[in-house]
Amino acid sequence: MKKATGRANAVIASALLACCLAAAAACSSSDGSSTPSIDDELVPGTAEIMGWAEEIVAQGIRRPGYPADDWIEGWARDHFVALGLEEVTLDPVEVDRWEPLRWSLTVWHPETPNETLTIPCYAVPFSGNTSPDGVTGELEVFSTPEGEEPEDLTGKIAIVENEFLALPQSVMRALFARWEYDPEGAFDNLVQTLPFSGAFQDAMGPSIEAGAIGFLGILRGLPWETDQYYVPYDALERPIPGAWLSSSNGDRLLQFLEEGPAEGRLVLERDLQKATSHNVTGVLRGASDEWIIIGSHHDGPWASAVEDASGVALVLAQAKYWSQVPQRKRPHNLMFLLNGGHMSGGAGLHHFVNTNRAFLERDVVVEVHLEHAAREARGEDGRLVPTDAPEVRWWFTSFMPPLEEAVADAICAEELGRSFLMPVEGFPPGSMNPPTDAAFFHPWSPIVSFLTAPMYLFDAQDTIDKIHEPSLVPLTRAAIRIINDMHDESAASLRSTLYVPPRTETLAPCSER
C-alpha cells in the first residue's frame, strides 16, 4: 500500500511539475518575461539561401539601372508576396546609371611617335568622357608628400599608385573594437587587405586639383592581377577621364617611362544618365506597434556574389523565417528593406531615410543590416583563390548596452568566430558613421550592421565561390536571436541606454555567457 501511495504521489508530482512548466512557458510567451527561442524547423537551410544568391548572380552585372538590377527588384517583390508579406512596395529612386562603352591607353616616346604601346586598363567609374580621339598629354608620375605643395599637372596625364590598405587585426583589436570572438586566435597574426586605399573614393581628387587632363591609377597591394575595380561609386562625375591598371601593367608603364619622357592617349567613352531604381519593402505585423527593420542593398558593382547577393539572400531568409512565426511571437512589427542605388552614392537609403526620418526616430527599435557573407581569399600565381575561412566579421552596433549584449550573445551562441563588435563612430578614424550601408540610419535609429570587407569586394572576382556557405545559417540564426532579444525593448527604452564613448565597462567573453 505504501509503495502504491508513493507511486501515486510521484505521478501527481510529475503532473504538477509538468503543469507548472507549461504554465511558466505560457506566461513567458504571453507577457514577454523571457526571450523567445528559435524554431529550428523554420530556419531556411544553407542550400536554399545559397540558391537564392546563385539565382541573383546568374543575371549578370547588377549596377543601378542595369537589366539585372531591374530584374532583382521584381524577383524580390514576388518572393515577398509569396511569403505573405503585407504592403509590398516598389518605391522609385532616381539613380545615376554609368556604363563604360570604350576605353584604351596608348603610350609612346616623343622621338618615336609611331612606336606605340597599348596597355590594358579599365575605366574608372564616374570619370569624365572623352571624344573618340581621347585626351593626349605628357605622362607624369604624381605623388604629393605630406606638407608639400602639389606639382602642376596642367595638360598632363597623372600616374598614381593606389596602394590598398593592409590592416593588422591586432591593431583593430587594440584601437577600435569593443569586443571580439576569436577562438582560433587568428587575430594575433592576421593582416587583412581592405578593398580600398587610404584615398578610397577620392583617388582622382589630387590629380584633378593639380590640373591633370587624365588619371591612370595603378592598383597596388593586391595578390592577384586585376584592373576591374569599381571605385568610386559615389555617383559624383569627375571632369577628367581615368583608368585603372593592374599592378603588372602599371609596372610596364613605369618601365616605359624609365626609358625616357613619354606621352599617352587615354580614351574613355561612357554613358551616364539618370535612371529609376526601386527600394523593395514588405512588412509582417508583430506583437507591438513599433518596428524592427531588416535590410540590405540589391545592386552591386558586377554580378557580385558577396556584394550583395549574399545580403539579399540573408534578408530573404529572415523574411521566410518570420513569415512562418505567429504574429504574437514576432517581438515587433518587421519591415524588410532591399534598397537600390547603393552603387550610385547610396541613393536608395538617402531616399528612404529622408522620407522616413520621423518614423526612424520615433518608432524604430533597431535597424538590422546584413551585408557580405564572405570567404577569405588569398593570391596564388596572380590568381585569387578562396579559402575555407570566413572573412573578418564586423558587427557595427549602436552605443547601447542591451544591443551590444544581444549581438555578443548571438555571436557566441552561433560560434561566429573572427568577429569584432565595432563602434558606429570612429572607424575609419574620425568617421561619424560606420563604413556600411546602415550608416544612413545612424544616428536616427539604433543599428546592428553586419559587414565583411574582403579585398575583392568591388572587383569582378566577387564570384559565387566567394560566399562563405557555412556562415549562411549561423548568420541567419544570429539575426533571429538579436531580433528576439529586443522583445522587452521599446524605441524609447533602448534609446534611454545610449552612452557616450568611451565606455569603461567591458563585455564578457563567450566563456562567461
Place of cell 596642367: 154
Same domain, 357 and 427: yes
Q: Among 243, 271, 299, where does a domain finish?
A: 271
**In this structure, what CATH number is given to the domain that contains residue 150?**
3.50.30.30
In this prediction, residue 30 carries a pLDDT of 38
In this prediction, residue 317 carries a pLDDT of 98
Mean pLDDT of 295-315: 98
Q: How many C-beta atoms lie closer than 10 Å to residue 260's C-beta?
A: 10
For residues 457 and 149, which has the higher predicted lDDT (pLDDT)?
457
Which stretches of 83-187 are DSSP H helices?
169-175
Same domain, 218 and 349: no
Query: Is residue 24's pLDDT more than 80?
Result: no
Query: Is residue 168's pLDDT more than 70?
Result: yes
Q: How many C-beta atoms lie closer than 10 Å to residue 31's C-beta?
A: 9
Average pLDDT, the chain: 92
Q: What is the CA radius of gyration of the chain?
A: 26
Nearest to 167 by CA among 189, 191, 150, 201: 191
pLDDT tens digits, 200-227: 999 999 999 999 999 999 999 999 999 9
* 490 within a domain of the structure (yes/no): yes
Same domain, 71 and 203: no
CA 133 from chain center: how many Å?
A: 38
Q: Among 251, 271, 291, where does a domain finish?
A: 271
* 461 within a domain of the structure (yes/no): yes
Q: Among 271, 296, 330, where does a domain finish?
A: 271
CA distance 57 to 5: 69
**In this structure, what CATH number is given to the domain that contains residue 506?**
3.40.630.10
CA distance 403 to 173: 20
Residue 438 is given by DSSP the state G
For residues 435 and 3, which has the higher predicted lDDT (pLDDT)?
435
Same domain, 307 and 237: no
Same domain, 471 and 486: yes
In this prediction, residue 27 carries a pLDDT of 37
Same domain, 294 and 211: no
pLDDT tens digits, 83-111: 999 999 999 999 999 999 999 999 999 99
Same domain, 218 and 331: no
CB proximity list for 274: less than 8 A, separation 6 or greater? 94, 95, 96, 97
pLDDT confidence of 297, banded at 50, 70, 90?
Answer: very high
The answer to whether the peptide bond before residue 308 is cis (omega within 30 degrees of 0) is yes
CA distance 172 to 419: 11
52-59 contacts at long range (C-beta below 8 A, 24 or more positions apart) = 52/309, 52/312, 52/313, 52/316, 52/317, 53/305, 53/309, 53/310, 53/312, 53/313, 53/464, 53/467, 54/464, 56/309, 56/312, 56/313, 57/303, 57/304, 57/305, 57/309, 57/463, 57/464, 58/303, 59/303
CA distance 212 to 214: 6
The rounded percent of the chain whose pLDDT value lies above 90 is 89
For residues 476 and 144, which has the higher predicted lDDT (pLDDT)?
476
pLDDT confidence of 14, banded at 50, 70, 90?
Answer: very low
- Counting every residue written for the chain, the total comes to 513
Same domain, 497 and 413: yes
In this prediction, residue 16 carries a pLDDT of 37
Question: 380 vs 78, 224, 452, CA distance in Å?
Answer: 41, 7, 22
* 28 within a domain of the structure (yes/no): no
* 486 within a domain of the structure (yes/no): yes
115-122 contacts at long range (C-beta below 8 A, 24 or more positions apart) = 117/252, 117/256, 119/245, 119/249, 119/252, 119/253, 120/227, 120/245, 120/246, 120/249, 121/216, 121/227, 121/243, 121/244, 121/245, 121/249, 122/227, 122/228, 122/229, 122/243, 122/244
421 forms beta bridges with: 179, 395
CA distance 155 to 151: 12
CA 417 from chain center: how many Å?
A: 18
In this prediction, residue 490 carries a pLDDT of 97
Least confident of 2-16, 146-160, 437-451, 468-482: 2-16
pLDDT confidence of 146, banded at 50, 70, 90?
Answer: low
CA distance 93 to 85: 22
CA distance 30 to 488: 12
pLDDT tens digits, 39-57: 999 999 999 999 999 999 9
Nearest to 435 by CA among 419, 452, 459, 420: 452
In this prediction, residue 505 carries a pLDDT of 87
* 412 within a domain of the structure (yes/no): yes
* 31 within a domain of the structure (yes/no): no
Query: Is residue 11's pLDDT more than 60?
Result: no
Helix 311-323 to helix 46-57 angle (10° resolution) is 130
Q: What is the 3-state secondary structure (H, E, C) of 454-501?
A: CCCCCECCCCHHHECHHHHHHHHHHHHHHHHCCCCCCHHHHHCCCCCC
Q: What is the 3-state secondary structure (H, E, C) of 255-314?
A: HHHHCCCCEEEEEEEEEEEEEEEEEEEEEECCCCCCEEEEEEECCCCCCCHHHHHHHHHH
Query: Is residue 8's pLDDT more than 50?
Result: no
* 372 within a domain of the structure (yes/no): yes
Same domain, 57 and 93: yes
pLDDT tens digits, 242-279: 999 999 999 999 999 999 999 999 999 999 999 999 99
Same domain, 308 and 388: yes
384 forms beta bridges with: 379
For residue 197, the one-letter residue type is S
Contact 322, 334 (CB under 8 A): yes
The set of cell numbers assigned to 325 is 512565426
Q: Label residue 8 exposed, middle or buried (CB < 10 Å: 0-12, 13-18, 19+).
A: exposed
In this prediction, residue 143 carries a pLDDT of 85
Same domain, 215 and 344: no
Helix (H, G, I), strand (E, B) or coil at 510: helix
pLDDT confidence of 148, banded at 50, 70, 90?
Answer: confident
* 12 within a domain of the structure (yes/no): no
Mean pLDDT of 4-31: 39
Count of domains for the chain: 2
pLDDT confidence of 145, banded at 50, 70, 90?
Answer: low
The set of cell numbers assigned to 145 is 608628400
pLDDT tens digits, 337-357: 999 999 999 999 999 999 999
Residue 281: phi and psi, rounded to 5, are -130, 155
Helix (H, G, I), strand (E, B) or coil at 372: coil
CA distance 365 to 487: 10
CB proximity list for 11: less than 8 A, separation 6 or greater? none
Query: Is residue 31's pLDDT more than 50?
Result: no
In this prediction, residue 149 carries a pLDDT of 75
Helix (H, G, I), strand (E, B) or coil at 349: helix
Contact 319, 85 (CB under 8 A): yes
Range of the domain at 206: 100-165+196-271
Which stretches of 306-346 are DSSP H helices?
311-323
In this prediction, residue 106 carries a pLDDT of 98
Same domain, 404 and 264: no
pLDDT tens digits, 404-429: 999 999 999 999 999 999 999 999 99
